[in-house]
Structure 1
């Protein structure tokens, strides 16, 4: 089972990803059995024309600064924009997230 934690809805200050000086909203997808972050979804609405919701793996994270509400990643601009888009209608399907993670892993090798 998964849980979506959209920090904008659960905290006074939103967690965000800082890319090229822009703040991008994040949603954490958490496995409720292990309480591990299994995926991060970056909302690029204020960065990319048309906006997308892009998938990041926990291994893409360099550092999470909870006090500053900031997540730093190890990806370049191009690596980030080439990540697959998350289909919010499928996110609760049991096989969707493992399939998405496998797709990212195969593309980054």
Structure 2
């Protein structure tokens, strides 16, 4: 079992667009690993489970590797860096994954056992029994195995719902009474790695094609085969959705105003 140092992690909410984060450097405790290239999100919990790190500058023949937010130690938006509580050797020796294949539950179990993390799928919340992913770095594998065994009696844990953000961006949004735009980006809450807001390009519906915000609660279904997202809102309701302002994304008042407006829809 690999030992990891328990870290403290602030709980101040910060929002960031995933398109912006894709260029961020991922830094281990002893040097840079690479840059984030894509994200795998849970399409039921609307939570980012993994970052794909492109490590070719560090490992010339290396493939992309998965980094879990459980290992996060610092998220530095100003300097465009994500610091993780891992060494470069730990990342190099971690279970390999072919990024052209779906990350299976079997692979996740192997990955979590390697790092000694508790399983996120053994509780009712987005991170099991916890509100924040970093809490799972403090759960022993033995306890996790027991939780996994118990949860298997309740639901099939052999399946997951992980999808690429790159795949989702650009999907058509279908309202109750017509199509109105495309998924432009998703907003990440860097505190709990959940997705509270979705940016939609409304060029098909509104003059000038302004970008508006909707919430995951407004998504009824994602049709991955047809590359469409079915929304519960009408075209008229979408016209009244809050407009996205990238410059105000980090402003707490703006965040609260957006949440309040979307709760009313």
Q: State the TM-score, normalizing by the size of structure 1.
A: 0.74
**Structure 1 spans left out of the alignment, 5+ residues:** none
Name the structure 2 match of 1:77: 235
Q: C-alpha distance in 1, partners of 2:183/2:206?
A: 13
Does structure 1 residue 16 correspond to structure 2 residue 172? yes
Deviation at 1:95, TM superposition (A): 3.4
Instruction: Find the aligned partners of 2:204 and 2:260 in 1 and give their Cα distance.
Output: 28
* Alpha-carbon distance between aligned partners in 2 of 1:2 and 1:69, rounded to the nearest angstrom: 26
SS of 2:246's equivalent? coil
Alignment correspondent of 1:64: 222
For residue 65 of structure 1, report the CA deviation from its aligned partner: 3.6
Question: Does 1:2 pair with 2:15?
Answer: yes
Aligned pair in 2 of structure 1 residues 22, 59: CA closer, same or farther (>3 Å)?
closer
Q: Give the structure with the higher percent strand.
A: 1
1:93 alignment partner in structure 2: 251
RMSD of Structure 2 on Structure 1 (CA)? 2.6
Q: How far does the alpha carbon of each residue in 1:21-64 deviate from its partner, in whole angstroms, 9 at most, with x for none? A: 45423311121221211011111124322121111112111123
Q: Is the 8 A contact 2:180 2:202 kept in 1?
A: no
Structure of larger gyration radius: 2
How many aligned residue pairs are there? 105
Q: How far apart in 2 are the matches of 1:17 and 1:46?
A: 10
More helix by share: 2
CA distance in 2, matches of 1:45, 1:97: 24
**TM-score (norm: length of structure 2):** 0.35
Q: Is the 8 A contact 2:219 2:229 kept in 1?
A: yes
> Could you say which structure has the greater relative contact order, defined with CA pairs below 8 angstroms and 6 or more residues apart?
1
Comparing 56-65 with 92-101, which one deviates more in the overlay? 92-101
Alpha-carbon distance in 2 for matches of 1:64, 1:93: 30
Alpha-carbon offset, residue 78 of structure 1: 0.9
